[in-house]
Structure 1
């Protein structure tokens, strides 16, 4: 008897193909049976229909794909079993390999056999229900007596006539929904289609080179430029999305000559001086004079390359791939930005001795997140940044044009005075800049902080539309630049984006010493212990309001998430820096409970190996009366995400009917948390009983979807409404807490209007949460401070009774 999956193994060379190489049937925790449909552009386009049974995926090739029309009996050719791990496979099978071509996950979910699946499979007549992202309802697979090629059995895939059935003339699902359910891409686009716009990764100003594995490049003194290649056409775009292709025609042709497939490349356009060093004024003069053809385009990253999304790929791998495609470049206008060859302790001194502006450091293993983060840092030989020009003073003596420029930066959507610059101009620059400022004249100051009489005397104000780059010695205590010198105008940065750059000190994680800062906490993302501390500090304004005044429990993983993990509710003998130990009377018979209410305590917890932060449903001042309850929607992992969204909407509808406002957050795990704020009136037993009553009500109304009984065996194909977190001493992961899972996802509050578009319970993580927080226009939990009471009428609607006093 052949070993399981032996035929699958025989047909594939796993040194060449990226398909999973599982050699034995899979075993996993109790769960519903999974199904997957993969769209496969092999020699002929077809759909691979796979059902989990006996630890493998029983597989059929369906040439025309599934149809919702019961009259459409689709041919399904039985092929070899596949490993369970194949259910998540997307990518390209290389030429020369069995099944060569692109594969996407077209649909996935669970299947529920109507009778014993083993007997039905052997008899050749499987009837089942699908619960997928796209396919649903009752189906049948029926073996026929038709002879196919070789010994492959011919089956038919048939949709049963139920509420989900639709006529093919009315709706063809494979045409109407062609994309992957994982990344949303159509076949041939890998996992993500090339976006029309791309936000560049930005660097954070730092005071010195950090320890660890970093790559350093020259800080180019030019204009940031992104190259988009689509269908052979090249467009060069500024960091703000302006198309400058017409201004850089020779550089466009140089990239076209590389004959790249769909790409986004990142780099900087610079002018080289006679000494071969970057010359910012040379760039500005080249664009102003229309002679930008000789500018050099240095490339340093490739977020997308040959149609593949590389943003999640490690920095060094992205750069290696970019360098490989540039090996065939013959244009002197296109170059690769090589890494700086120097020890990190000497890196800045080496750059400054060469007359460079500074260096850019990039953390090895980091992704391309498209935001300003601590993964990219800039070290400058002298402080230098952009300022908005808001006015100028008259010239003195024989000088023409103007005397000095008045500078400002944006703070909270207003302009604040930042000093003046009166050096660094030659006569031509004075006259050209003076000419640019004349049409912008205005009578009043655009500054939010008015200048004193002596400072404002003789100032000519202008509309804040010009941006100057200025180098200077330091910031004064009053927030003004000292010993400033003009470098040039910036036409690639809008005034409203100009803010004071804040230095990221390398001891950023408060004043607490982080032991083993280079320790990898999560191998999947390469996140180090120091980075986790920095992440928590960076989001402290978001997470601390959910931690303050509540007992906190810590999930600690001192050796990283793949090592042993500890759940700690009491302070015991562990000395966590700056953590607050609560009154022992709050939890008699145990060591003291803990509270985190400062940044120092937050970072101190990370120092002691903490990853997750869990809080009680009551505050320390009224520990016996909860001020919220939680409904944790915990799904069978095999269920499709669509089922989770539908379940959340159903529970929210019941809460609406009860008159209770609920607030949603991703769990950072598999499901969602619904948080219901309460007035502090009822005790733990009553609140927990009420949460249980909701769970039981949902289970009674929709037993095929929900269960109120814990344990993996009880939630097969269902969602467990976990109400058990509402007892005294129980806790729930806090809003904005990291989870100890691969990729370090974060539990994130969302608005109810965002629920329908939510893609996963792990949609946000330590790498991309900052982008969401910066983009928020409104508080997703607006109204959360309003407290509600559980009424007698609510109990009645649920058909339940409160516990006896």
Structure 2
């Protein structure tokens, strides 16, 4: 394999797209790592490549001299890696977040994932090496906007005094990417990671980091097993699945790659998980299910294989190991993007200057103001259809979500770049209402500290006749999420019975929003009264589950069906709006079929929404149209009457 060299060829080095920070910054309590995008071949442009280590992603937080180690999902593994923790303490670094991978090396000096698992199982951290490859925060400096090559150079310098064999810097290679990949294949490495020169560090999956695999290999959810044959003990094969929009989908089975210890250990974990029915969304044939023992879909296994068939089943599979660092709900069919699509991340409209770009909006994720602007710019095509032609209210948090927050419904004296000011007649006696009708206006709102975007239930051309109503299912925080899903299904059943097509979105907060599009015929009072009638109907029929009265005291152990946001001047958070909550969750439209598979109202955030958008096979709100009318028959079914 080409020898690593830390000198990047200056002739091919592009001009950095982001400047480095020189001032100190508060260290986030928690941190989300940057993730690489799977591609089919090396993209064009100036990139550097590193080994794709076959191990566990690990983040090191150094604060006030204390070192803590976290997995990519935020689990604290400090106690499991005492020697690596001690080696990091010996560096005497100031406040830092370091990014890397812990691996075990075989006799040839190559990563061995099974050996890594064995080392953790017996508590032998002496066999584990921590390869460090990035430093988003280093010695009190926030380096996230610095080019990747500068961050890595600073990290290597900081590791210069390291005397431990358990800490190593992940070197880059200078040979042509084809030579690197071919050598990686020959050495049976998992693959390589490419990083675009000049790119910043972002806490999400990014097109600036790519992964090329030498072999097809990914994680699968284990949904069942077959009995062993002959002299084999434990089980014969594992049945595998991946998640998609319809739930768990069968992906084949794996019956090789197990030694006796693995057969025994995995079987012991499968037995208590047995269930009678298949957890798959679609039934298999009788031949596929013959002799199968179904299990709860909680275990995740990594498998290498030759190819995917047209039917979505893997061929020539061999088991690698169980994975405890990745939850089953996140396992999908990994499909590589084409190299042509791997363009540099789009920057927000240059007409809008983002002041204080490195201000941290959310300490939990470490998201900065510039990154929030980039996020909204990247999803502008998804969110703008829900913003245009509607008055918008802004929830602003100029100093970040832990600072003061306030709503702004009118333009007043504050000049928001590129925002549209509406006709004064729409809201007499007040300053003008506002509308966001372009990506530039969207970024302008972020520039002024906006995090959330809330819209009216009517369009500006017919402001007195709403074109939708919303039922906000707001739960007692003590209720489990399953109760929320059940409540949504019950309410949807009633709306179905009324003949109203309803669309669902996560609130990004605690509950779900049920959105009913309407023909623009009835006035505000009528629409609000109808929404109230639905709420009261549910509360009267199921008083142990629902309440139609606001206030925490009235919803203890219940779900408040909030109809109040359907009044004139009231607003609801827009679809695809970020919420000003830790982690920056997003309000996301979902299909009715996805409802049971949701894990919570904050399932999607600024860090993972793009993955959902890229993976959507169909519009979850397909068929949405403002054409439904509230009829007298509907009022009668609810036992209510429209207002005079």
TM-score, L = length of structure 1: 0.47
Q: Distance in 2 between matches of 1:775 and 1:644?
A: 31
Partner of 2:197: 364
Alignment counterpart, residue 333 of structure 1, candidates 166, 178, 188: 166
Change beyond 3 A, Cα 1:662–1:451? farther
String of CA shifts for 1:72-112, please: whole Å, max 9, x gaps: xxxxxxxxxxxxxxxxx9965xxxxxxxxxxxxxxxxxxxx
Deviation at 1:340, TM superposition (A): 2.2
Counting only pairs closer than 5 Å after superposition, residues 578-589 of structure 1 correspond to structure 2 as: none
Q: CA RMSD in A?
A: 4.5
Q: Distance in 1 between matches of 2:22 and 2:340?
A: 41
String of CA shifts for 1:433-454, please: whole Å, max 9, x gaps: 1122111111111111111100
Q: Distance in 2 between matches of 1:755 and 1:219?
A: 33
C-alpha contact 1:629 1:678 (8 A) present in aligned 2? yes
Q: Distance in 1 between matches of 2:215 and 2:86?
A: 36
Q: Distance in 2 between matches of 1:658 and 1:485?
A: 71
Partner of 1:542: 382
In the alignment, structure 1 residue 481 sits paired with structure 2 residue 321: no
What secondary structure is seen at the aligned counterpart in 2 of 1:200?
Answer: coil
In the alignment, structure 1 residue 425 sits paired with structure 2 residue 261: no
In the alignment, structure 1 residue 309 sits paired with structure 2 residue 148: no
Change beyond 3 A, Cα 1:454–1:305? same
**Larger % of helix: which?**
2
Q: Distance in 2 between matches of 1:632 and 1:441?
A: 50
Alignment counterpart, residue 285 of structure 1, candidates 87, 110, 118: 118
String of CA shifts for 1:596-643, please: whole Å, max 9, x gaps: xxxxxxxxxxxxxxxxxxxxx8xxxxxxxxxx488999xxxxxxx999
In the alignment, structure 1 residue 244 sits paired with structure 2 residue 77: yes
C-alpha contact 1:662 1:675 (8 A) present in aligned 2? no
Alignment counterpart, residue 226 of structure 2, candidates 381, 393, 417: 393
What secondary structure is seen at the aligned counterpart in 2 of 1:250?
Answer: helix
What secondary structure is seen at the aligned counterpart in 2 of 1:507?
Answer: helix
Counting only pairs closer than 5 Å after superposition, residues 397-796 of structure 1 correspond to structure 2 as: 397-412=230-245, 414-508=247-341, 539=379, 542=382, 628=389, 648=410, 666-669=441-444, 678=459, 751=574, 771=607, 773=609
In the alignment, structure 1 residue 255 sits paired with structure 2 residue 70: no
What secondary structure is seen at the aligned counterpart in 1 of 2:443?
Answer: coil
Q: Distance in 2 between matches of 1:756 and 1:472?
A: 40
Q: Distance in 2 between matches of 1:231 and 1:431?
A: 44
Aligned length: 422
What secondary structure is seen at the aligned counterpart in 1 of 2:263?
Answer: helix
What secondary structure is seen at the aligned counterpart in 2 of 1:345?
Answer: helix
What secondary structure is seen at the aligned counterpart in 1 of 2:258?
Answer: coil
Deviates more, 1:669-678 or 1:433-442: 669-678
Deviates more, 1:243-252 or 1:407-416: 407-416
Q: Distance in 2 between matches of 1:542 and 1:441?
A: 41
String of CA shifts for 1:12-54, please: whole Å, max 9, x gaps: xxxxxxxxxxxxxxxxxxxxxxxxxxxxxxxxxxxxxxxxxxx
Q: Distance in 1 between matches of 2:337 and 2:195?
A: 14
Deviation at 1:288, TM superposition (A): 1.2
Partner of 1:353: 186
Q: Distance in 1 between matches of 2:390 and 2:345?
A: 39
Q: Which structure 2 residue ranges, 5 or more long, are not aligned? A: 1-19, 355-373, 395-402, 413-420, 464-571, 582-603, 614-618, 628-644
Alignment counterpart, residue 102 of structure 2, candidates 253, 269, 276: 269
Partner of 2:176: 343
Deviates more, 1:203-212 or 1:664-673: 664-673
C-alpha contact 1:212 1:518 (8 A) present in aligned 2? no
Q: Distance in 2 between matches of 1:522 and 1:663?
A: 18
Q: Distance in 1 between matches of 2:201 and 2:219?
A: 24
Q: Distance in 2 between matches of 1:643 and 1:288?
A: 47
**Larger % of strand: which?**
1
Deviation at 1:465, TM superposition (A): 1.6
Partner of 2:587: none
C-alpha contact 1:663 1:674 (8 A) present in aligned 2? no
String of CA shifts for 1:708-761, please: whole Å, max 9, x gaps: xxxxxxxxxxxxxxxxxxxxxxxxxxxxxxxxxxxxxxxxx9749989969xxx
What secondary structure is seen at the aligned counterpart in 1 of 2:222?
Answer: strand
Higher relative contact order (CA 8 A, sep 6+): 2
What secondary structure is seen at the aligned counterpart in 2 of 1:293?
Answer: helix
Q: Distance in 1 between matches of 2:240 and 2:168?
A: 35
Deviation at 1:678, TM superposition (A): 4.0
C-alpha contact 1:261 1:307 (8 A) present in aligned 2? yes
C-alpha contact 2:253 2:317 (8 A) present in aligned 1? yes
Change beyond 3 A, Cα 1:246–1:629? closer
Q: Which structure 1 residue ranges, 5 or more long, are not aligned? A: 1-88, 93-189, 526-533, 548-616, 618-627, 634-640, 683-748, 759-767, 788-805
String of CA shifts for 1:396-442, please: whole Å, max 9, x gaps: 22211111100111113721111111111112211221122111111
Q: Distance in 2 between matches of 1:647 and 1:546?
A: 17
Q: Distance in 2 between matches of 1:775 and 1:502?
A: 11
C-alpha contact 2:349 2:443 (8 A) present in aligned 1? no
C-alpha contact 1:390 1:446 (8 A) present in aligned 2? yes
C-alpha contact 1:664 1:750 (8 A) present in aligned 2? no
String of CA shifts for 1:329-358, please: whole Å, max 9, x gaps: 000000000002320233311211122111
Change beyond 3 A, Cα 1:316–1:756? closer
Change beyond 3 A, Cα 1:522–1:775? closer
Change beyond 3 A, Cα 1:386–1:648? same
Change beyond 3 A, Cα 1:756–1:441? closer
Deviation at 1:507, TM superposition (A): 2.2
Q: Which has the larger radius of gyration?
A: 1
Deviation at 1:289, TM superposition (A): 1.7
Q: Distance in 1 between matches of 2:233 and 2:405?
A: 72
